[in-house]
Homo-oligomer: A and B are copies of this chain.
Amino acid sequence: FMYKKNGRFDRVCMKTPIYLDSTSELSLQAQIRQKVIDAIADGVFPVGSRIPSSRRLSDDLGIARNTVVLAYEQLLAEGYLVSRQRSGIYVSEDLSRVHVGKQAVKSAPKGPSIWSQRIARRVHHTRSFAAPAQWQAFPYPFIEGQFDDTLYPIKEWREASKAALSVGQINEWAGESGVADDPLLIEQIRTKVLPKRGIRADADEILITLGTMHALNIVSELLVQPGTRVAVEEPGLPQVRDLVANRGGALWHQPIDNDGVIVDERLDRSEIIFVTPSHQTPSGVTLINERREQLVQKANELDQIIVEDDFEFEANYLNRPQPALKSIDTQGRVIYISCLSKVLSPGLRIGFMVGDAELIAQARKVLQLQVRHSPYNNQRTAALFIQMGHYDTFTLSLHRTFEQRWIALRRAVNYFLLPYVEVSRAQGGSSLWLRIADDIDPGYLVTEAAKQGVLVEPMHDYFATSGVEGNYIRLGVTSIEEHEIKQGVERLRDVIHSLSSGAVETLDQYDGDLLEGHQIESAITNKQMVCPIAYDDLCSINIISGGKLDGRAGAAGDDADQGQWWIEGDYWCRQWSRWAWGEVGRYRVVTTQDGTVIKLFDEKGRLIDQGLLRAISEGDAELSHDQTQISRNWTQVSQPTGTTEQTD
């Protein structure tokens, strides 16, 4: 008798509830043992009943009798079964001493719920966007904070995990009495992790938490009471607002701009300030040095507390990372919160909090009343992981991977999305934050994109105040492999394009003159085309007679490339050596009547690129790419992302 399970045929025992699963990784013997235990638990083999003989079971299943005998022997040794001479093998009566019998199992109560009116306090809990549980099934998941499975240091974590489960180690962590964290993890964080952020702390200034959210929760429990004035970033993490609101705190939403949170007199009334200096959540911008110093100085003068959430410090690709605020705090006013989750997978929940010893002692009491302590096995595994050097290795490798992905993302956004979005001036981080057209509903876009296999996140949950200008989505690179990024962004462009009817120029509806082949040649030869690019820098392309292209990008023109151009019919064709993935691009060309603005449309009529045109001297060997001068004309391309209206 065969029946199909998960698309495979498995051997089934007709006379007993035992079947073998051919897809299982367990040995036959282990499977039999487990199935017998299941059958006992389910009451199929009641306590005290006789079970099939090994001969019969092996015949039924068509396997070697010895396999069954060995499984039964193990179950006998474990006390599940007892053997009675000349009678057979029985389910042990002892089992009834630890199990309440099946007859006691009641159905779930069916009466009306008594809870609707009851729950004392409806918890503030902003419904925020959550990635679908099956996000890994999507081909293009741009979900910030989720890690794709190529990233886990599985081998290294296994090694640390195995070491933590060695007899010597297990006796150390399992016997901890719950009053302290694992001293080995504290030591590793103190000596290997914090110095990278410029922070020096003693062991009693560190508390292990279950991630950064947990640390934020504990800080709120300790410091926020009804009426406490708390400043948060706008936009910012909705959960931080929830935590403060749940404790009755009075929120102030401080706007951000391209240099991070704005430090001005609007912060003066606040007693506590929550900030994300390394990479502002959710915009990704980095707080500049000048403001860091202002912030700490202001806190010293006004007796304020700063809570520094530094969850993404590893991820600054473009600049040397800034030291933490905590490192310039001389009065113990900064509570520093970070985690190992970015490195060790968020599922593990390992975070920490650094602050004044007195504060940490109180925080530990709150934590003990919540969860007693963070699981010791994970603490010890993380400690060994760091001690073995894997943390450093993996941080470095993650940094490189995310850098490559982020650059790929920026390039793809630049190529495909430029006419449709504005990009915030993020310096690294693992995401880009895009402003889409005002008439596109971000929630609808997210849903439509998901239908095409592209997962992006809407940003409106991050805004607390109503006067948000613009609609934003975020594309993260922690969850998508580099080689999928280009196509993912291209598909996203298609979705946005289909929702943008009329808002963005197309070949059906354009402003200017559509050029024919010979017109193109004379319009562009020996001209410099200056284009905004997605990330706030400019790009200049010298279009030289004879079909040569010379391009510079970046503030210092430090990204350069060469290429070729030619005319095919009414199309301007170009191909870079590296830019645009070295692929041939074919464009229809539109210019304004004065010939100073040029627009390129692809073969489907979609706007791909636009720029200024200006003449350059023919035959000039050193063709000028004067970025500074050009920049002045384009400063309005990327808008500040903050808002100013408050709903305090």
Contact = CB atoms under 8 A, between A and B. Distances in A.
A234 B26 CA distance: 49
A227 to B, nearest CB: 10
A349 B372 contact: yes
A22 interface: no
A370 B34 contact: no
Contacts of A38: 389
B171 A397 contact: no
Interface string A432-444: 0000000000000
A505 interface: no
A-B residue pairs, 3 tightest by C-beta: A104-B198, A347-B376, A37-B389
Given A105-B199, A167-B154, A331 B239 contact: no
Given A331-B109, A397-B79, A100 B197 contact: yes
A242 B348 CA distance: 29
A119 B223 contact: yes
Pick from A97, A171, A180 the residue with the most CB of B within 10 Å.
Answer: A97
Interface in A192-220: 192, 195-202, 205, 209-211, 213-214, 217
Contact of A113 (B158, B332, B389): B332
B157 A165 contact: yes
Interface in A218-244: 221-225, 228, 239, 242-243
Contact of A132 (B133, B177, B198, B303): B177
Q: For chain A, give the interface size range.
A: 35 or more
A142 interface: no
A202 B108 contact: yes
A106 B210 contact: no
Contact of A176 (B41, B347, B369, B371): B347
A120 interface: yes
Interface of A: 25-26, 30, 33-34, 37-38, 40-42, 78-80, 94-100, 102, 104-109, 111, 113-116, 118-123, 125, 130-133, 135-136, 146-147, 149, 152, 154, 157-158, 161-163, 165-167, 170-171, 173-180, 191-192, 195-202, 205, 209-211, 213-214, 217, 221-225, 228, 239, 242-243, 246, 303, 305, 314, 316-317, 320-323, 327-333, 345-349, 356-359, 362, 365-366, 368-378, 387-389, 392-393, 395-397, 399-400
A211 B366 contact: no
8 contacts: A25-B166, A97-B321, A98-B396, A115-B356, A149-B170, A149-B174, A213-B372, A375-B378
